[in-house]
Every structure is written in C-alpha cells, then in structure tokens.
Amino acid sequence: MRMDPANPVPPVVHHRVGMDQVPPHVPKELIRSAMIAYGSEFLAAPHDYMAGLHETMPPLWYDVGAMGNAWQAIKHEDALHVLRHAELFNNEDATPFPRDPDDYFYFIPIEIDPPDHRKYRNIVDPVLSPKAVLELEGRIRQLANELIDGFIAKGECEFAEDFGRPLPVYVFLELMGLPLDMCPTFVSWAIELLHSNDRAIMGESLRKISEYLKVAIADKQAHPDDKVISRIVHAAPNGEPLSEKEIFGFAVFLFIAGLDTVFATLNNIWLYLAENPDKRQELIDDPENITAQTEELLRVFSVTFSGRTVSQDTELRGVQLKKGDKITCILPACNFDPEAFPNPREVNFHRPRKTILAFTVGVHSCMGAHLARLEVKIALQEWLKRIPEFRVKPGTKIEYRPGGVVGPEQVPLEWDPATTA
C-alpha cells in the first residue's frame, strides 16, 4: 500500500512473536532462536557471535524470539538481493520505535518506500555527499585534537566517554544546526531509545526527543540557517513545502541514525586496536592505505541491521517467503560471509575491494556513510599520530548493551605519556 507521509497512519502489521505464531509455510527444520542483539551469548562477544553464525546456523533461518519472529539472512549475496529489491522487500514498519497512534508519524526516509523516498533524500543528500563532507575535514581534525588534548597527559581515558562519543556527536550536532551543549542530554535520550528492551522507556525517550525537536523546528522556521534541520524545514520539493509531520519525522530519524552509530563503531575499533598492537603498527607504517584500512575495520566492526517486510510472495535460497513475513539482514554477519570475504575474521588491510554491508546497499543505503567513513579515518589518523601505543586498562570487563547498534559500553584505555606526541 502506498503511504502518504503528510497524513501518516499506523501500519496494519501482524507482529508475530513466539513459537505459536510461526506461520505454516515455514519449514520446521529452519526454525531457530539466535537472540541476536539481546541474548547473553551474543552480548558476551557480539562480533564473534555473528561471525560464528556461518558455522552454527543455516544460511537463512526463521528466528523465533521475544523481540519478534523474522527470517534472518547472513549470506552477503542474499543481503544484496533483499536490499536491492525494494519492490519485493519494503520498509513499512522498518523501525521498532513506539509512537502514539493518535499522533502518528513516519520515520523519514527509512520507513518510506520508492518512489516517494527519493524526494526526501534529495533534500539532504547534497550536504552529505563525498565532496560536501570533505569540507568538514579541518573541523573534524580540530575537534579530534581538542578532545585528545583534554586527556593525553594523564596517560588514560575512558575512550567511549572522552572521545568515541563526543567526536561524532559534536560533528553531527554542528551539521544539524543544534547546540553542542545539549550533547550529554541528546546522548542519554539516544541511549534510552536505542538500547532499552522496554517499550515504555523507549516511548518516554521518544517523547522527550520529540518535544525538544518541535521547539528546534519552530526556531528554524523563524530563523533559517544553512544547516540540515533548517534545510528540511524550508524544503519545497516540486514546489510544495513539507508538512509538519514530514519535517518532524525526518529530523527525528536523523537524530536516531546519526548519534549512536559512529560512536559504537569507534568504540569497537579502539577496543580491537588496544588489544592488537601489530595491527596498530600496520596502520602507522602504511598511512597511504588509510582508505582500505578504514573500510576493512568497518567490515569487521559493522554495528547495525536492515529489517524489511516481504511485499509479495517470493523465494530466497529455495525457501518460500510470504507477503507480510519479516526479514532481517544481519549486516555484521554478512560481512563475515566466508564466500564473500575468505578467512573473514582476519583483519586484512589488503583485501581485494568488495562491497561491504556496514551501511547497507540499495535505496536505503546510509545517508551518513561518507561522513562516517571520514570521521573514522580522521579519528584513526589523529589519534595514532599522538597516542601510538595504548592498551585496555588491566582488570577491565568489557560489556555490551543490548539493542540495534552494537558496541562496547565503556573502553577504559591507558598509555605511557612518554610515548605520546
């Protein structure tokens, strides 16, 4: 059904949960429960767990669990098929975030299917193009160095709090035209929304984000600037301004998509580098290869998933999928598919080029991918220039939050100040 984002209505979706809601077309031998994103085995070592799915699970299985039943795809080839066929796999109800049915809105652009989807991308894509984000390079380097200045002499930091989080969040807030001193508040809202299994907490966090953004949108209406929120507020695709619901749904989704993802990615990468000095040295010794190095680290430490709904009966890997079924592409697992990336757990900075799925592919591929790649690259360069040797503080227990963005909660690091610059 074609949706009208200006007049949103809650989708009529049959959420299946548990064994008694497995539809009859699902072969019994393909039913499993992997508890992705929340099970204790997953949370003990998420990327290892997802890499291991290629040994423990069928390539496509029907997952039954507390968070909802859905097909799970872990083959690179299958994910490319699903994600590139928006006519077979749609984005209705693509996010898990609860909304008030009496004041409903769509998360834009993620919940909008083609052709309407393009109209929204056209508003913001130019600000996030490879050329446009390069203009932010100097500012990102400056921010990275200012943050490092704050702790380098101490010989220690809590990476997540002192660097991994503030760097991308400041860049994002500047891009959006939102005040930097709101950083801690925004971050706490995003954590409640993205890492809670409790729909009441998620709903409350979304309410706080909504209240704040409604005021910010009104302010941009009165005082336009050249930042992203203002661009959305004053956009008029085909001569028609966006409705309040469209503006709001777009602003709020950018907030959700842009705040937590780079943060989680940096935390994963720094934990890995702290534990693998040989790989750190490779980065330092081969600075010309930074683009491939960044891409390889993004392959191994991708942090999120693509959920779709089957629009019409179809077949995947010889299995019948029926209209209304849910399917999740476990992107980090697809990036460990040995058929696509031989010896997939090895971090190899000289792999032949191949599409990685960290940012998904197809019409909904990540709008912030060029910015995210640039941030990771600059963070690596600036950090390793100044703190080439570092390790995880002894006695640290690394813990992961459940939720749709995968990364360690805290990464306490230490180094000898005499080795820094």
- The footprint of ligand HEM (CB under 6 A) covers 94, 109-110, 121, 172, 253-254, 257-258, 261-262, 265, 302-304, 306-307, 331, 358-360, 364, 366-368, 371-372
CB of 363 to ligand HEM, least distance (A): 6
Please report where in the chains the tokens 């003990």 appear, as a residue: 44
Cβ 274 vs Cβ 132: under 8 Å: no
Kindly tell me which of 262 and 310 has the beta carbon lying closer to ligand HEM: 262
How crowded is residue 26: how many other Cβ atoms within 10 Å of its Cβ? Answer: 20
Burial class (CB in 10 A: 0-12, 13-18, 19+), 107: buried
- How many CA atoms within 13 Å lie on the side-chain side of 350? 3
Contacts of 131 (CB under 8 A, 6+ apart): none
- Which residue sits closest to ligand HEM, CB atoms considered? 368
Least separation in angstroms between residue 415's CB and ligand HEM is 25
Q: Which residues on adjacent β-strands are paired with residue 314? A: 321
Tokens 């699970």 sit on residue: 57
Report in angstroms how near the CB of residue 127 gets to ligand HEM at its nearest. Answer: 9
Which residues have C-beta within 8 Å of that of residue 30, sequence separation ≥ 6?
A: 58, 60, 61, 62, 319
Query: CB of residue 326 vs ligand HEM: minimum separation in angstroms?
Result: 12
Answer for the pair 60, 78: CB distance below 8 angstroms, yes or no. Answer: yes
Choice between 140 and 152, CB closer to ligand HEM: 140
| Nearest to ligand HEM of 170, 415 (CB atom) | 170
Shortest Cβ 202–ligand HEM spacing (Å): 17
**Residue closer to ligand HEM, measured from CB, 177 or 258:** 258
Pick the closer one to ligand HEM by CB: 22 or 187.
187
For residues 107 and 415, which CB has a smaller minimum distance to ligand HEM in the complex?
107
Closest distance to ligand HEM from the beta carbon of 406 (Å): 10
Residue 322: which residues within 8 A CB-CB, separation 6 or more?
23, 25, 310, 313
Q: Least Å distance between CB 260 and ligand HEM?
A: 9
Instruction: Pick the closer one to ligand HEM by CB: 274 or 334.
Output: 334
